[in-house]
Amino acid sequence: MTTQRIYRLPEGIATKAEFFAAVIDTFPLDPPLSDERQVWDALSDSLFQGLMESPDAHIAIIWPDPAMTDVQDFETAANLLRGLVGQLHGSKAASVDIAANV
């Protein structure tokens, strides 16, 4: 039996701190992270490992209506999520949708 999971981040994430908190609250992470230490590489590694260890064979990530005002933080966050698709390829089917009004 193939298991599927949709992870949906909350709408209106406006800051790096809110993004970290939302990811920590939404996804399985390994190792677990606290939102006090906002290091992109640590978040990426923890998120990847957490998703790899999940029993789900198909993973969809939705980030509706992002509102980040810092362009660099938004691009880093979006690239982190999009990069998971390539990292998980071969082990799990994954997709990412980042859009307004999803």
Residues 6+ apart with CB under 8 A from 81: 61, 63, 96, 98
Contact 5, 60 (CB under 8 A): yes
Residues 6+ apart with CB under 8 A from 50: 27, 28, 29, 30
Residue 88's nearest CA partner among 58, 64, 55 is: 58
- What pLDDT score does 102 carry? 42
Structural domain of 44? 4-99
Report pTM: 0.91
Model confidence pLDDT, tens digit, residues 30-82: 999 987 789 999 999 999 999 999 999 999 999 999 999 999 999 999 999 99
Q: How many domains does the chain have?
A: 1
Contact 65, 12 (CB under 8 A): yes
